[in-house]
Each structure stands twice: as structure tokens, then as C-alpha cells.
Structure 1
Amino acid sequence: MYHLIRNPVPNQSMEYNDNRISLYVGQYGRCGVTNVPLEIGDMEVHHKIPKKLGGSDEYNNLIFVRKDVHKLIHAVEEQTIQTYLQKLNLDKDGLDKINKLRKLVGNDEIVA
């Protein structure tokens, strides 16, 4: 958490940076999809509804995820999707969470 406090994300709002710290605490330092402990260099905040689609930096619109999870949420190429599915080895619950997040950004669900 010390790292998050000392390293705000440039070009993001104060609300975003404050909520990022709160999210980390609220998620017990774990990925919101895989439940794996987050590590510096392998964690990103995802906007559930993208700002370009009217989303905000509010706490309820953000989720902390691992980098590979974030890439899978936004991936559209089948080969890229398959690569991240293999890397992440998601269970049904994880895939359901990914698909909910993918739908919110306008991407198709992944059918396993």
C-alpha cells in the first residue's frame, strides 16, 4: 500500500488515485478476478465502464486486477484471448467475472 500512496498514476484524477488505494484495501490486496495477491508491477486498475463510454473514476466503477487479466478483458483477437486463457488458467467463477467485465467494455463473452 505504501507504494500506491507514494506513486500516484500521472494524468489521472485525484479521485482515481484515492480510490485506487481504497480498492487495494477493499480487495485485501488481491486481484478482483483471480483472487491472487497483487504484486507491484503486476497490478492495474480497470474501469468497469470505460470513461469513453461514460464511466467515471468512482470507486464502484473500478477494480484492481493483474496485468494479464486486464489484457484479457480488452482482448479481441482470438489468438490473444487463447494465450491469456492458458496463462491464467481461470476456473468457472474467474471466467464469469472476466465475461461480465468484457461485456461492460463492449467485448464478446469468451465461451470455454
Structure 2
Amino acid sequence: FSAQKGKCAISGEEFEDAEHVAVWLKVPGSLGGFERYKNMVLIHKKYLILLQELPQAAIKDLIKTLNITKKMLVKINSLREQANLSAII
């Protein structure tokens, strides 16, 4: 938590409380990743949906709803690619 200065790895916004924090494994266990510090990032729970396998049309709608910027999309795509998911176009 302190390494990220209490901020979301995707948006940079500060977490208001622990209820909004989700731990994301950059490389999931199914791909050989471990629950170790260097493989974990903290993100706001509202962005978890963007790190799942969904149709591009559904993802595009979520991007608009969540006001995802280009900078945030680069971070999301980096996390998706590490999890062996296709990048959002």
C-alpha cells in the first residue's frame, strides 16, 4: 500500500478506504504467477471488470462509463497483456 502511496495503479486516485481496494496479480496463478509483492498491484475495484475476458463492445461501453483516459488505458492494457488477455483496441 505504501509503495503505491495509497493510490490506484490504474487511475492514480487515492483510495478512500480499504473497501475500494483490490489486489491484482500481474501474472495470474494459472500462468505461473505467485502471490508475491513484486507480482501484485493495488487497483480500485471498479476497474476489475476491465481486466477480465469480455467482448470488445462491452469493454468500450465500460471505458466510456468509467471515463478511462488514454494514459489509464495504457496501464490497463499492460496489466491485461501480463495476464495473457488481449489488449483493448
Report the TM-score when normalising by structure 1.
0.71
Per-residue CA deviations over 1:5-56 (Å, capped at 9, x if unaligned) read: xxxxxxxxxxxxxxxxxxx111111100100111332210000000111001
Q: 1:93 aligns with which of 54, 58, 71?
A: 71
Stretches (4+) displaced over 6 A: none
Match of 1:82 in 2: 60
More helix by share: 1
**SS, match of residue 26 in structure 1:** coil
1:87 maps to amino acid:
T
Q: Which one has the bigger strand percentage?
A: 2
Structure 2 counterpart of 1:66: 44
Q: Which runs of 5+ in 2 are unaligned?
A: none
Task: Select which of 16, 23, 26 maps to 2:3.
Answer: 26
Amino acid paired to 1:56: F
Between 1 and 2, higher relative CO (CA 8 Å, sep ≥ 6) is seen in: 2
Calculate the aligned-residue CA RMSD, in Å.
Answer: 1.4
Count, aligned residues: 88
